[in-house]
Structure 1
Amino acid sequence: MPRFPHLLRLPPKLRRRARRQRMATLLALLALVGLLFVPFYIIYKPPRPLISYFVSRWPDVLWRVDLPVLVTSGDPSERPAQRKLVALTIDDAPSEHTRGILEVLRQYDAHATFFVIGGQVPGRQSVLREALALGGHELANHGMHDEPARSLADGALQAQIAEVDAMLQQVYDSVREGRHGGATNTELAQTKPPRYYRPGSGFFSDRMRTLVAQLGYKLVLGGVYPHDAQINYPWLNARHILSMLKPGAIVICHDRRSWTAPMLRKMLPAAIKQGYQFVTVTELLKAGKEGD
């Protein structure tokens, strides 16, 4: 049977045009995937210039702390350096997982600021006392409930902040004075809880900023967040934090998850090996003022 392959082939000019069209289609698909991927990546892992923009756009919100450059030996070849301090913050405390988190922090001599949800405090005051008395940690305000605080009316937000503040003050007083049993520390660095507020869900408005400032609080967010509230892979969350650590960073992690302690167990020794030290927000702010 005769074959006529030359009759089925496109002329060279049309073949080149078809190749160009296929290439253009492929590039368009890749560009579309990139346009869809980039916003998600920026949300997951915001670049440092974006955090710098946040700092300049909302200077009353704490995103990071600029640490002073250490005094060098005068050798021109020596690069300026900063103390490798990082604030570790733990949201959604206390829970049934808090003691496991405290044990990991104790093991690696790491301090943290626990942002406390008031509705979770009843029945768990003892673990908060342990955090203060034995760990060198501090307790701060995360509202009464795990909810988007930005949607709260001013009166409701103010009432929640005041209610949680009263709970935290009771814990500080009981530890300092040795009341109600549990751990005791008569030489607490702070006699009152620091006036930090982290809004539920991490979103704020100009109205909230104004109210929080009027109440004498500072909004504290951060720039290193592994999305561990949703992502339950300790190794992935640990890698995320390690890839974004810089001196003066504020790391956001979450209590109330079984995978937080295993994540810290992976992340802390690796970061410490790089020379980092984990401190409270108050300790980081103090270090930032040392160069003033």
Structure 2
Amino acid sequence: MLYPPSLNLSSILIVLFSSLFLCIYIFYKPPAWLINHFQRRWPNVLFHVSTDQKIVALTIDDGPSLHTREIQAVLDAHGAKATFFIIGSHIPGHEETLRQLILNGHELGNHAMYDEPSRSLSTVQLIRQIKDVDAQLDHIYESVRCRLSSRLKYFRPGSGFFTVQMRRTVPGLGHRIVLGDIYPHDAQIPFWRLNARHILSMVRPGGIIVCHDRRWTLPMLSVVMPELRRRGYRVVTVTELLSLGSNFHQTRAS
């Protein structure tokens, strides 16, 4: 039986739009099975930590900024800890802010020197940026008398995309690549209520929340932190989350 051309075209358009919507939805809210697949596929990139405990890591990118101290105040008020992924060029003038983060139990990670996609850098440029930012972070840690030998180092590539060469290079510099599995796209979406709902709808044990140092991060965290506590979750650094999960023990054994 032959169908009218218009019906065939309508069916094709429905399939195309449905497929496009599904792709956008999966990108915005990746399902747990997909994240678990990524973690198995790229074990030296951290997306999620396997644990049954109600514990999640909070990571905050692109600082320090004029908002960092207020963000810290919100976290401290709710007994939460975070890993701040620092852009090296943002550090000058904010050294005391970073010292206060460390002294209050938060930790600093490496987010390269500039706010740009790390995948566009050559290997030489990537190594230089990681080392330059590391030198600045080491100086901050030393200024509060933290032992550098005990500090685990993490790198989050700019724009959140890694390459094969990056996976080969970064571990040799003593870092682990850290991404995450709960990302409200708050760098692009400034609507804090929407971002808070996104995080709370995606939370599961061992999750890694990715958010950014922005003005609208303050009200978002003011909603998310007490609700996570009400649900029985602890919000911790990447290091503490790893220490409680099987990813840590697998890494130590390898």
Shorter-chain TM-score above 0.5: yes
Paired position in structure 2 for 1:278: 235
Determine if the alignment matches structure 1 residue 42 to structure 2 residue 26: yes
Q: For 2:155, which of 184, 189, 197 is the aligned residue? A: 197
Q: For 1:54, which of 24, 38, 41 is the aligned residue? A: 38
Paired position in structure 1 for 2:72: 102
Distance in 2 between the 1:189 and 1:250 partners? 26
Q: TM-score, normalised to structure 1's length?
A: 0.79
Q: Structure 2 unaligned runs (5+)?
A: 250-254
Find the residue that maps to 1:270 and give its secondary structure.
helix
Distance in 2 between the 1:132 and 1:191 partners? 15
| Runs (4+) off by over 6 Å | 20-25
Distance in 1 between the 2:24 and 2:15 partners? 15
- 2:226 aligned partner, one-letter code: P
- 1:284 aligned partner, one-letter code: L
Q: Deviations for 1:239-275, whole angstroms, at most 9, x for unmatched residues?
A: 00111101001110001x1101111011111111111
Contact 2:85 2:110 in 1 (8 A): yes
Determine if the alignment matches structure 1 residue 126 to structure 2 residue 96: yes
Determine if the alignment matches structure 1 residue 155 to structure 2 residue 124: yes
Q: Structure 1 unaligned runs (5+)?
A: 1-16, 68-81, 177-187
Structure 1 residue 53 displacement after superposition: 1.3
Contact 1:198 1:221 in 2 (8 A): yes
Q: For 1:236, which of 168, 187, 194 is the aligned residue? A: 194
Q: TM-score, normalised to structure 2's length?
A: 0.91
Identity %: 50
The alpha-carbon distance between structure 1 residues 49 and 87, as it changes in their structure 2 partners (threshold 3 A), is same
Determine which structure has more spread, i.e. the larger CA radius of gyration. Answer: 1
Higher RCO (CA < 8 A, seq sep 6+): 2
Paired position in structure 2 for 1:268: 225
- 1:35 aligned partner, one-letter code: S
Determine if the alignment matches structure 1 residue 33 to structure 2 residue 11: no
Distance in 1 between the 2:5 and 2:121 partners? 54
Paired position in structure 2 for 1:167: 136
Paired position in structure 1 for 2:86: 116
Paired position in structure 2 for 1:83: 53
Q: For 2:215, which of 239, 253, 258 is the aligned residue? A: 258
Distance in 2 between the 1:290 and 1:146 partners? 29
The two structures, once aligned, show a CA RMSD in angstroms of 2.2
Contact 1:140 1:193 in 2 (8 A): no
- How many residue pairs get matched? 248
- 2:171 aligned partner, one-letter code: A
The alpha-carbon distance between structure 1 residues 253 and 166, as it changes in their structure 2 partners (threshold 3 A), is same
